[in-house]
């Protein structure tokens, strides 16, 4: 009997291995900027930089050498721009293997938009407008003049803006939203970021620690340049006493500044379990007369898996970041625009749509430069922009939840939003009913775009990365399903709106 078990177990692992490695590795293609515009259009934060903000070429070549050879000693030779400054974040993670789900290098994402193309200009304009609107309550978007100006600019002045629109126009109701099913339905912030979280005997209200409004960072060229050289700038810590529900872009950016990447989806899972939301139709215990799930197809199974996918997703994202795209952070691109304005350098390759946008005059008037104002004192992390870690993890974790729970289930109770003070929740009478699937998609968008609201990521960092995380989660579900004894299946709606069953 044990021999049979041993043979069956080995066979399952062999099948999973064949599933991961039976095909050829995908072709990994970046956007070619590294060759077209050397040392201008790729990530270099943390390395030594020249006075005009461009990376020291020899330092960048050592980074390229390390990602080419993969040798640990070559990564140790990459120079930092500041002695005892910020360190590069885990570039070797993209070389790790996993024994479940797809290989980190077995997935790919599209080349990132180039700085000489209109799509990149549109994404940068959206980020400037996000910075200008950081302290506008989401519930006030419909009447706010900055929001109206942002919607008009993105509609009229950019030929390739790919965010959601209504009748071909960006509106206050579509501005800064995600582009997956459910993102445009109801309030901007997902209900899963408002509901009380049951942690055993604890019931945690989601009143968040906040930072003061109107305080932005890296808006002078010396401060910006120090950050590019990796200066060890402490984060702007939120207040332990000024607590409120998420009600502005700055609040959402602060949440994703200090979260543990997967925690919003873990919280959503706990909320769904507490409300006894129905499991997916393929759960074998939906119809059992004498059994319930626990370690398999029950609460512990989904709670474990929604966190387990995070490291797998991060390895896939980190391979794309360091070894394929090396996309510059928005703050770096803002530095190119400001260096050109100051006469420190010229960048004729920058697409003119961003240079001609009225948003630059608005930013100049408010902040005194054309740098992209950062919500985080230290600016972006010391790793490339694309793929985005938060977005990839959120895509993976939300996919697990959509596979385990009935996506069509309507969330009970009234739809809630924060009151004017942000300290209590009130009913939103304008919102239609909200489904589990739609609010999970919105949650993934909130967490991803919240990083954009901080100034550290681009729109395509979100839109491409959530689908990368989705691929990781689907691969893990395909490996998990055959390991269980029950007659079960998972059905879920992908971020593109199509439905699959595992």
Catalytic residue positions, numbered: 383, 390
Residues 6 or more apart in contact with residue 262 via CB below 8 angstroms: 306, 307, 310, 393, 394, 397
For residue 203, the surrounding DSSP H or E stretch is strand 202-204
Taking the C-alpha atoms of residue 265 and residue 273, their distance in angstroms, rounded to an integer, is 12
Instruction: Please provide residue 277's backbone torsions phi and psi, each rounded to the nearest 5 degrees.
Output: -60, 140
User: What is the residue-wise DSSP string for 304-352?
Assistant: HHHHHHHHHHHHHHHHIIIIII-BPPHHHHHHHHHHHHHTS---TTS-H
Instruction: Give me the count of residues in the chain.
Output: 502
Please answer whether residues 104 and 132 qualify as being in contact, where contact means their C-beta atoms are separated by less than 8 angstroms: no
Distances (CA, A) of 270 to 2, 106, 302, 304, 396: 37, 32, 10, 11, 17
Dihedral pair phi/psi, residue 469, rounded to 5°? -60, -40
For residue 282, give both structure tokens. 């393929």
Taking 3-state DSSP, the helix, strand and coil percentages for the chain, each rounded to the nearest 5, stand at 45, 5, 45
């Amino acid at each position: 009997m044990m021999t049979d078990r041993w043979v069956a177990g080995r066979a399952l692992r062999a099948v999973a291995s064949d599933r991961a490695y039976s095909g050829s590795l995908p072709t990994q293609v970046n956007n070619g900027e590294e060759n077209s515009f050397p040392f201008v259009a790729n990530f270099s934060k943390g390395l030594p930089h020249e006075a005009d903000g461009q990376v020291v070429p020899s330092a960048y070549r050592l980074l390229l050498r390390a990602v080419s050879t993969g040798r640990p000693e070559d990564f140790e030779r990459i120079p930092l721009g500041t002695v005892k400054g910020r360190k590069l974040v885990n570039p070797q993670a993209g070389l790790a293997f996993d024994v479940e789900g797809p290989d980190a290098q077995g997935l790919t994402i599209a080349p990132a938009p180039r700085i000489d193309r209109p799509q990149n200009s549109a994404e940068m304009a959206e980020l400037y407008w996000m910075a200008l609107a950081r302290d506008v309550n989401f519930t006030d978007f419909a009447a706010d003049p900055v929001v109206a100006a942002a919607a008009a600019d993105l509609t009229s002045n950019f030929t390739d803006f790919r965010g959601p629109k209504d009748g071909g126009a960006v509106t206050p109701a579509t501005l800064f939203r995600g582009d997956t099913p459910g993102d445009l339905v109801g309030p901007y912030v997902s209900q899963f970021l408002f509901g009380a979280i049951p942690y055993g005997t604890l019931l945690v209200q989601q009143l968040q620690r906040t930072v003061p409004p109107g305080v932005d960072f890296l808006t002078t060229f010396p401060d910006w340049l120090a950050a590019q050289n990796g200066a060890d700038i402490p984060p702007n810590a939120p207040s332990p006493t000024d607590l409120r529900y998420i009600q502005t872009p700055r609040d959402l950016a602060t949440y994703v500044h200090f979260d543990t990447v997967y925690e919003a989806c873990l919280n959503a899972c706990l909320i769904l379990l507490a409300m006894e939301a129905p499991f997916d139709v393929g759960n074998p215990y939906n119809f059992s007369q004498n059994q319930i799930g626990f370690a398999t197809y029950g609460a512990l199974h989904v709670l474990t898996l929604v966190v387990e996918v995070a490291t797998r997703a991060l390895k896939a994202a980190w391979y794309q970041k360091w070894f394929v795209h090396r996309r510059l952070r928005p703050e770096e691109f803002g530095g190119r625009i400001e260096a050109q304005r100051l006469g420190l350098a010229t960048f004729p390759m920058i697409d003119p749509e961003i240079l001609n946008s009225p948003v630059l005059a608005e930013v100049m008037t408010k902040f005194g430069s054309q740098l992209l104002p950062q919500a985080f004192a230290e600016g972006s992390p010391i790793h490339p922009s694309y793929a985005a870690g938060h977005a990839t993890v959120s895509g993976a974790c939300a996919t697990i939840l959509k596979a385990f729970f009935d996506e069509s289930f309507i969330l009970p109770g009234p739809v809630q939003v924060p009151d004017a003070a942000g300290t209590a929740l009130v009913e939103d009478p304008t919102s239609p009913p909200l489904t589990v699937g739609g609010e999970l998609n919105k949650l993934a968008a909130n967490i991803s775009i919240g990083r954009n609201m901080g100034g550290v990521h681009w729109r395509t960092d979100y839109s491409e990365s959530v689908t990368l995380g989705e691929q990781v989660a689907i691969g893990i579900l395909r490996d998990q399903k055959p390991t269980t004894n029950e007659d079960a299946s998972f059905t879920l709606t992908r971020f593109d709106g199509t439905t699959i069953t595992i």
